Structure 1
Amino acid sequence: MFFSIVIPLYNRPQEINELLNTLTQQTYMQFEVLVIEDGSVKDAGAVIDKYANALDLHYYVKPNAGQGFARNYGFERAKGDYFVVFDSDCLIPKDYLETVRDYLFEHKLDAYGGPDAAHQSFTPVQKAISYAMTSPFTTGGIRGNAKHLGQFHPRSFNMGVSREVWEKVGGYILTRLGEDIEYSIRIHEAGFKIGLIPAAKVYHKRRTSFAQFYKQLHFFGRARINIYKHFPKELKLVHFFPAVFTCGFFFTLLINIFYWPLAFVCNFLMLVYFMLIFFHSWQVNKSLKVAFLSIIAAFIQLFAYGLGFMQDLIKRVVLNRQ
């Protein structure tokens, strides 16, 4: 089996350097790498040159059109039996491709996704963010999990599609705002089989600061409504949880001002929730600092997602604006 690894890139030469370095260490080497420079100001040309002899590496520079269409650009030029998509801020374990190959030989999947985790080299903030995005006490618990709810939708930081899927379904029709979920829904509807490969994890850096994380999660909340506009049945009750949390937070602030007896109950429930996050993160990460930062990360995840979700729900659905 020959893999084509497609990586869209925008102004992140240092990230692609670290990702490519992990690919040189793969235990299964039947693959090519296509890096699509999507209109970057800070290009990665010098970094690509470093790996020209170490990898079957192809570098393309194109005008900016967004990550979804950059992946399509790579798919059009890929030679593999399977197209693997990574985000540029991922580190790939050395047995990743071997794990995927072995799994696909035993289980026929037309498309797959894998989970993400925090690498030991990550900063405490990055580990806290990773925890928030994978925790069973946040919406992260329904992603990259063998017991996910409903259909499994691979995420583009770690997913793959067969050449047959590309030839019959095509690529992304959205370039951002939930493009990976929209794509996997169309793959499902075309009758292809999608599944999770639990052992095919990547180390996903995500964002290096809470401010960047806030912007990303606000964007994710908006993306969920964008998916709803295309596929109304894909908006599930669980997707409202961050919005409920956000409204509950504002309600708690107000009730603390106007009615203390009820405020005590709200404050207690909020405290219990964040203590659960603290102790679970402490158990997972073995670090008090990361556990404390996980409370902040979880709050940002739910609050930012909830705001973005409600913003576009009101604008696009209630007010019926595009």
Structure 2
Amino acid sequence: MSSTSAPRLSVVIATYNRLPLITRLLWQLAGQTLPPEQFEVVVVDDGSKEPTREPLQALALPYTLRVEVQQNAGAAAARHRGVMAARGDVVLVTDDDMQVAPDFLERHLAHHPEGSRTVVLGRIRPDPSIGDMPLFERWYAYLNNRMAEELSTPGARARGVHLFTGNVSFPRADYVGVGGFDKSLGQSEDVELGVRLEKAGCAFVFARDAYVLHGSDHVSFERWLKRAHRYGMFDTQVARKHPDVRDVNPWRLLFQTNPLTRPLLAATLVAPDASRVLTRAVMHAANAADKLGLEKAAFAGTSVVYGMEYLRGARGEAGGWTGIAREVARYLQGRGE
């Protein structure tokens, strides 16, 4: 379907080697209660190995679909390209492995009256099949649920650090006004964007009812560890950009975690390579607890493992003890908190 008038809402989805999943999502968007002339979908293929544009454009969808293709440049660059190509006043960003309810778009738009400057943080709920996934992926779903419960409590305040690209909408003008995603960041580009939008005066709202179902095809423990490592690296870069926002500083873990786990985190800093054996031992214990049905203990152990690898990444980015001392001092001296 094509349209000459600009839609009210643009849905932006970056995709990479997930043709069946993005196809499923596009069909779910075809069944929205929001009339199809009021929204468009912009898909950006970030250098998939299999052709994406032709199969997607061949779908008989009731809304306007545009497919952009680029060489692999990362999720931040792909999403930025999609937002810049979007024609709607409001942009909604989600991921290619999400599923949505029929009223998903309508619920997001309800929080964007004309002229408002609202960033809507939708809930990310785990797909029911998450129970079949490895412990570390179920732990990730547990964190999403915990954050949703915290933001749903009376008086809770949604902030820029809560922005995740799995389910968020914002005025396109504000996105452009703050410069969009920082494409130099390989992780945490969403949180960093949220910080800048908050500083620019946008209001943040948590919309529990505008939810997505998040499945997962991540089954490799080694890849999960590498992702934790990268978050530690790039969160260090984000903290340097925003020294006044303590919640993005990776060294907060040393002060906010359970005191019983701090020796393990310290071991990671003192002997990052030698302590890898310890990291794997903790994960082995967490998996053993999981098999015994001790979910709380299993999640606690997984959190420790993630924190150890995360701080390895932060340590490497800090560049040794002098750098670590500087980054910790930045956390302790953080302004505006």
Matched, 1:58 2:88: no
Worse overlay, 204-213 or 55-64: 204-213
Aligned equivalent of 1:97? 105
User: What's the offset of the Cα at 1:159?
Assistant: 1.0
SS in 2 for 1:94: coil
- Whether the 8 Å CA contact 1:82–1:163 is kept in 2: the answer is yes
| Aligned CA distance change for structure 1 residues 111 and 319 (closer, same or farther; 3 Å) | same
The CA deviation at 1:251 is: 8.4
Q: Is the counterpart of residue 159 in structure 1 residue 165 in structure 2? A: no
Q: Aligned pair count?
A: 287
- Superposed displacement of residue 67, structure 1: 1.1
Tell me the residue number matched to 1:33: 41
Evaluate the alpha carbon distance shift between residue 59 and residue 289 of structure 1 in structure 2; reply closer, same or farther with a 3 A threshold.
Answer: farther
Query: Does residue 179 of structure 1 match 2:189?
Result: yes
2: CA distance between counterparts of 1:170 and 1:33? Answer: 22
- The runs of at least 4 aligned residues of structure 1 exceeding 6 Å deviation read none
TM-score, normalization by structure 2: 0.71
Closer, same or farther in 2 for the Cα pair 1:245/1:232, shift >3 Å? farther
Give 2:57's aligned residue. 49
1:132 aligns with 2:134: no
Which secondary structure state, in structure 2, belongs to the residue aligned with residue 25 of structure 1?
coil
Query: Which amino acid counterpart does residue 56 of structure 1 have in structure 2?
Result: T
**1:17 aligned to 15, 20, 23, which one?**
23
Contact 2:30 2:63 in 1 (8 A): yes
Deviation for aligned residue 1:90: 1.2
Q: Distance in 2 between matches of 1:167 and 1:47?
A: 31
Which letter maps to 1:316?
Answer: A
1:217 to 196, 221, 228: 228
Distance 2:159 2:175 in 1: 24
Superposed CA deviations along residues 18-61 of structure 1, whole A, max 9, x for unmatched, are 22222122111321111111122233235413524343111111
Q: TM-score, normalised by structure 1?
A: 0.74
Which of 308, 311, 315 is equivalent to 1:309?
A: 311
Worse-superposed segment, 140-149 or 155-164: 140-149
Q: Which amino acid aligns with 1:197?
A: A
Percent of residue pairs identical:
22
User: 2-side partners of 1:312 and 1:27: how far apart?
Assistant: 45
Tell me whether 1:113 sits opposite 2:121 in the alignment: yes
Q: Write the distance in 2 (CA, Å) between the matches of 1:14 and 1:108.
A: 36
Answer 1 or 2: higher relative contact order, Cα 8 Å, separation at least 6. 1
**1:288-307 mapped onto 2 (5 Å cutoff):** 296=298, 299-307=301-309
Amino acid at match of 2:162: H
User: 1:189 maps to what in 2?
Assistant: 199
Matched, 1:3 2:18: no
Task: Give the SS at the match of 2:101.
Answer: coil
Deviates more, 1:230-239 or 1:59-68: 230-239
1:12 Cα deviation after fit: 1.8
Distance 1:25 1:244 in 2: 49
Change (3 A) 1:243 1:32: farther
CA gap 1:194/1:238 in 2 versus in 1, 3 angstroms: same
Gaps of 5+ in 2: 1-6, 268-281, 325-337
